[in-house]
């Protein structure tokens, strides 16, 4: 029996007559009758007895119907899984992101995206820029959410927005009374900064060089959120990307504009030649929406 024969047989069994089966399948009665006769001839057995104009299933038809129902349940499972995949409700989504973005922006986007998708398994890993690029390039991650550009020819970058370099300090610090802080304003205070070989360090070093002020770091860190934690503890002041202080993650830490202005570019990185899953596309859309509409994340 092919799928069409099974479909017609099931419709007749469920509806009790050829006319009702034809109405259910939206075909003509003669087509149903011809296919039913052909099926019986092909199988070499009768599936229905015709008594006084009514159809009665044979014992063989009843046994066959039980197996047909099992098959239809399997088809329905396939359809349900396909729909879940199309709606990103099941499957796996592997994300990597810059440390600063993993504090508020990306977690908030994940929380919103996962609503109604409880069967979707999401992994999030916080990596340095070099590790992030390598993870996406080698397909260990579906998407990378980065605050630095990538010149890797294998990766496509979708730029979402720019984030500023800001100065952070404890709430009672003298610099908190200023609207805009410059490198010259920082020389009298212990500066928490980055090694000049890191992406953040290059941005900060460029800002100091632009106004010809020497940068002297009292404490060196690798990531912006570490600098925030040290500022919160009263260890000094710092220059960080504004993504690090989004979402009130560090209570008691104030931020002020910094000049000369420097910025970071929030981007979604993906393999240029490899199609992404519907889950990855859906999350990208959620991240765009979070960046564009969430007041707490706006510049």
Residue that terminates a domain, selected from 41, 68, 86 = 86
pLDDT digits (tens, 9 = 90+) for 209-267: 999 999 999 999 998 989 999 999 999 999 999 988 887 789 999 999 999 999 998 99
- Please count the CA atoms within 13 angstroms of the CA of 220 that sit on its side-chain side: 9
Q: Which residue's structure tokens are 């260990």? A: 140
Asked if 289 and 225 sit in the same domain, the reply is no
Asked if 231 and 118 sit in the same domain, the reply is no
Question: Which range of residues forms the domain containing residue 188?
Answer: 164-261
pLDDT digits (tens, 9 = 90+) for 22-46: 999 999 999 999 999 999 999 999 9
Q: How many structural domains is the chain composed of?
A: 3
Q: Across the chain, which distance is largest between two alpha carbons, in Å? A: 105
Residue 79 has pLDDT above 90, yes or no: no
How far is residue 42 CA from its own chain's centroid?
Answer: 51
pLDDT at 87: 64
pLDDT at 85: 67
Asked if 117 and 199 sit in the same domain, the reply is no
CA-CA distance, 152 to 137, in Å (whole number)?
9
Asked if 293 and 249 sit in the same domain, the reply is no
pLDDT digits (tens, 9 = 90+) for 178-220: 999 999 999 999 999 998 888 899 999 999 999 999 999 999 9
Asked if 192 and 253 sit in the same domain, the reply is yes
For the whole model, what pTM was predicted?
A: 0.66
CA-CA distance, 80 to 101, in Å (whole number)?
34
Which residues does 173 contact at the CB level (< 8 Å), separation at least 6? Answer: 189, 237, 254
Asked if 155 and 279 sit in the same domain, the reply is yes
Asked if 257 and 191 sit in the same domain, the reply is yes
Ramachandran sector of residue 14 (left: φ over 0; alpha: ψ -120 to 50; beta: rest): alpha
Q: What are phi and psi of 90, to 5 degrees?
A: -135, 175
CATH of the domain at 111: 3.40.190.10
DSSP 8-state code for residue 45: S
Map residue 265 onto helix, strand or coil. strand
Cα torsion 124, 128, 133, 134 to 10°: value is: -90
Asked if 65 and 189 sit in the same domain, the reply is no
Asked if 169 and 247 sit in the same domain, the reply is yes
Asked if 184 and 232 sit in the same domain, the reply is yes
Residue that terminates a domain, selected from 60, 86, 112 = 86
pLDDT at 199: 86
Average pLDDT over residues 34-63: 89
Residue 295 has pLDDT above 50, yes or no: no
Asked if 156 and 271 sit in the same domain, the reply is yes
């Amino acid at each position: 029996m092919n799928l069409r024969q099974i479909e017609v047989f099931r419709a007749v069994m469920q509806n009790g007559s050829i006319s009702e089966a034809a109405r259910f399948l939206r075909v003509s009665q003669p087509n149903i009758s011809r296919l039913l006769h052909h099926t019986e001839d092909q199988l070499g057995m009768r599936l229905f007895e015709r008594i006084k104009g009514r159809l009665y299933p044979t014992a063989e038809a009843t046994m066959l119907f039980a197996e047909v129902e099992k098959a239809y349940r399997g088809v329905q499972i396939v359809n349900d899984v396909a729909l879940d995949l199309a709606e990103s409700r099941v499957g796996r989504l592997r994300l990597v992101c810059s440390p600063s973005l993993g504090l508020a922006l990306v977690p908030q986007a994940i929380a919103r995206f996962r609503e109604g998708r409880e069967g979707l398994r999401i992994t999030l890993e916080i990596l340095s820029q070099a590790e992030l690029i390598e993870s996406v390039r080698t397909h260990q991650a579906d998407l990378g959410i980065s605050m630095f550009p990538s010149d890797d020819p294998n990766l496509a970058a979708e730029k979402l927005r720019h984030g500023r370099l800001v100065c952070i300090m404890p709430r009672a610090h003298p610099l908190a009374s200023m609207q805009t802080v410059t490198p010259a304003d920082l020389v009298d205070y212990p500066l928490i900064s980055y090694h000049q070989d890191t992406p953040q360090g290059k941005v900060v070093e460029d800002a100091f060089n632009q106004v010809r002020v020497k940068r002297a770091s009292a404490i060196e860190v690798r990531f912006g959120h570490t600098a925030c934690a040290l500022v919160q503890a009263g260890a000094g002041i710092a220059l960080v990307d504004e993504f690090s202080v989004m979402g009130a993650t560090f209570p008691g830490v104030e931020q002020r504009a910094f000049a000369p202005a420097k910025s970071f570019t929030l981007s979604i990185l993906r393999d240029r030649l490899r199609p992404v899953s519907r889950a990855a596309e859906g999350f990208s859309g959620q991240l765009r929406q979070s960046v564009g509409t969430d007041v707490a994340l706006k510049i």
